[in-house]
Amino acid sequence: EMYGRELELDEQYEQLYRQVPPLHDERLLVIDDDDAMRSFLAQRLNLDGYEVDDAADVATAQRLLRERTYHLVTLDLMMRPTSGYELIEFMKEDPTLKWIPLMIVSARDDVNDKVRSFYLGADDFVAKPFHYEEIHARICSLLKRTRTFEQLAFRDPLTGVYNRRYFDHQIQVELGRIRRYPAPISMVFIDIDRFKSINDTHGHHVGDLVLQGLAHLLQHHLRATDLLARFGGEEFVIAMPNTPGADAKKTVEAILACTHKGPVAQNEGQSYHITFSAGVSEWHPGMTVDEWIRNSDDAMYEAKQRGRNQVVI
Ligand code: GH3
Ligand code: MG
Ligand code: MG
Ligand code: MG
């Protein structure tokens, strides 16, 4: 049985299709109660380089959406016992899910369904039967737009790491996951030592290069699941899932040791060295994010008091 319509791409489009960069780190969720349709779409998208999960009903989709981070969702409308419309509302009510691009893929081609879907917050609507090539092109377009949006909304322009807005948002996602699947998680607060004197002695431009250099050094030593953000001027914060406090401390001490071995930035033949002070604290059930941040910040302050250039837990 055919679920996509056959399409011969003309040569020009075939070439465009091949130019689309592979987006291997992007994870998609395909939701459809029709087994053949769901596996057809999931398999094609997987062949095109996406990580793909699938769900046959709204309850499964809700569970997956709480457990993993998705970059795009395709959603069937006619499903039992709960319709796709209810999943749209569920996603739009949740601040951690409402920005995920949402494409309706439905046999309900009625204008009322399109109008309702878009007003509820869907980003795109494709009618079944579809050409897979159209779905792929639309997904590429939505993901491209999302990447730009995320760059502007969630990244620090100077260092390229996440900003505080993203950190505040994503930390809630991490804690939601841990409440379901208990595991240790640690937070590290990092503040550069005597940074003001770098600016005062060498100028603001060198200060900026130092911030970029430290962000790079931190990112290089962290795991893909660690969440690094610039919290303020010369302060960085890291959330480390599945990491007890003692292990987080060891990781950060290894990074601090790197700052002793080599310069964090170079400019016009000059090398610049820095050290930092860091505070570590582990999250415990019942602790609010604000309390957790305060504990990490207090530990960092303690490191300053004890003479800087050290990590305190
Ligand atoms: P301490 O060891 O106690 O942390 O001393 P400090 O000098 O690092 O601390 P302080 O908070 O007094 O100074 C932080 C400085 O960071 C002040 C500010 O000028 C500088 N700063 C903040 N944001 C930026 C930035 O984006 N670029 C540059 N170049 N400097 C910044
Ligand atoms: Mg259906
Ligand atoms: Mg500071
Ligand atoms: Mg400082």
Torsional sign, CA 64, 147, 24, 42: positive
Cα separation of 222 and 117, whole Å?
40
The partner residues of 267 in beta bridges, in order of sequence, read 270
Calculate how far, in angstroms, residue 255's C-alpha sits from the geometric centre of ligand 4: 17
Cβ neighbours, 10 Å, residue 228: 20
304 lines ligand 1 (CB under 6 A): yes
Which amino acid residue places its CA nearest to atom 24 of ligand 1? Answer: 233
Q: What is the pLDDT tens value at each position of the chain, 313 positions in all?
A: 446 666 666 776 767 766 666 555 799 999 999 999 999 999 999 999 899 999 999 999 999 998 888 999 999 999 999 999 999 999 999 988 999 999 999 999 899 999 999 999 999 999 999 999 999 999 999 998 988 888 899 999 999 999 999 999 899 889 988 988 999 999 999 999 999 999 999 999 999 999 999 999 999 999 999 999 999 999 999 999 999 999 999 999 999 999 999 999 999 999 999 999 999 999 999 999 999 999 999 999 999 999 999 999 9
Distances (CA, A) of 109 to 79, 126, 198, 210: 15, 8, 63, 56
Calculate how far, in angstroms, residue 172's C-alpha sits from the geometric centre of ligand 1: 28
* Residue appearing with tokens 């062949």: 47
212 lines ligand 1 (CB under 6 A): no
Residue 32 backbone dihedrals phi, psi, to 5 degrees: -160, 140
156 lines ligand 1 (CB under 6 A): no
For residue 308, the ligand 1 atom closest to its alpha carbon is 2
194 lines ligand 1 (CB under 6 A): yes
